[in-house]
Structure 1
């Protein structure tokens, strides 16, 4: 019997730095897990360094991030639990579908191949990247106002501004363009093996006020798993938006994730 703590790999999405997971990592450690929160390819160790070197993030797509995290998983002594937010939630699903994880929690996960249509609010949230096709190969930043629409629309304006100042970093535009074109590309990197019946359990979490990944996207994602007998659950937080992993209510989401993992005997 393996008595070592279960590793948990925390995977952030676009426009947030890996250190934004710090409160989650502390809670997971207290609960007996062994959390790690690695950044994306090209991401520096701190928010400040990453902002100063945005070109290091530019050009990295979904597959780059997936393989980056797969290599990290390969270095662990057992299959981890994955907790991902936004594009991190998509990455977690892809890795789970490849049987590289014991379970996954995908929070406001980015749209996978097969989910239709792209909501207008999601297009507006991604507009800072989409307004210029050249941004596919660039790193793009969000202004404080853009961050409020995409992340902080369900929290006070002052809190949204503080979160932007503390955690926001440039993001590679490529994953956004790849996800937007997913249903026109038979080999899209946004494709997830939703038919895998041997994979570990999956919890999809959605915020009912999310502009970036509306609950309709998450519910459509759930339907993509209808051909798999593996556990696939859905939990909605009706009054939360895309900042739900980092704002003042993060603990409620984290504790719900822990409770679900306990239900899966993990």
Structure 2
């Protein structure tokens, strides 16, 4: 005769939901550290793995730009897909800039529970390219050979592309703390997306079965202006899957790393709770 389990025995707690943070160009994965700490305190299992070839630290990345060079969008997507495949459960993805594009591609392939795409780089089908976005990426596009190189920003270039909504000193401090060289290839691929039927910047925006997606935009973002994020939202109009947007009118492209990062992170957490995630 078997003895039934005591009704007072608590059930085993569910494993925490994994969260993967995906950085964009010119920022090191460790720039997500405050987010990782916050999400862990909220009961998730977060991690911020770098792009393929990314060294472990900012100084190492600056000293070895060749390790980062020539990785395109598909390389990065495959890299994170492999990481996801090693997890025990589908993760939530949080991506910034090109990381936001990567998160959307992985979500469209049903590899994630949900995604938060913050100031996400333009996907195939998005047409507006504001002048500020062209100026922000000029350090790469001014030399066609940069497609196969890693390119660094100067402090002034970082201030225009990331820190324009910040006090000058804060922008300078963030530049010193987090910036690394970035591969030029993803920018060239995104720029040619609407002329290439097989562009790696293409996202399955019509997927009805995917998890929920939250787009976030900064109203003062020079690199990915609000118009680009709004145009991205329209690309999802043929899908009934949840697609939401939150605007931060006074924020620039640095909104994930500057002094106001917690407001953005809390908005993401609130939305995830609304999705029962």
Could you say whether these structures have the same fold, taking a TM-score greater than 0.5 normalized by the shorter chain as the test?
yes
Cross-structure match for 2:265: 254
Cross-structure match for 1:111: 122
Pick one of 179, 182, 185 that aligns with 1:174. 185
Q: CA deviation at 1:119?
A: 1.2
C-alpha distance in structure 2 between counterparts of 1:98 and 1:120, whole Å: 32
C-alpha distance in structure 2 between counterparts of 1:232 and 1:218, whole Å: 12
C-alpha distance in structure 2 between counterparts of 1:70 and 1:123, whole Å: 30
Q: CA deviation at 1:178?
A: 0.3
Cross-structure match for 1:263: 274
Cross-structure match for 1:236: 247
Aligned to 1:10, the other structure's residue is in SS state strand
Q: CA deviation at 1:117?
A: 2.3
Aligned to 1:205, the other structure's residue is in SS state strand
Aligned to 1:84, the other structure's residue is in SS state strand
Q: CA deviation at 1:23?
A: 0.2
Q: Does 1:76 align with 2:92?
A: no
Return 5+ residue gaps in structure 1 as ranges: none
Q: CA deviation at 1:32?
A: 0.2
Q: Does 1:15 align with 2:39?
A: no
The number of aligned residues is: 266
Q: CA deviation at 1:97?
A: 0.1
C-alpha distance in structure 2 between counterparts of 1:56 and 1:45, whole Å: 11
* Runs of 4+ more than 6 Å apart: none
Cross-structure match for 2:110: 99
TM-score, normalised by the number of residues in structure 2? 0.95
Which structure has the larger Rg over C-alpha atoms?
2
Q: Does 1:185 align with 2:196?
A: yes
- 1:1-266 to structure 2, matched below 5 A, reads 3-266=14-277
Return 5+ residue gaps in structure 2 as ranges: 1-11
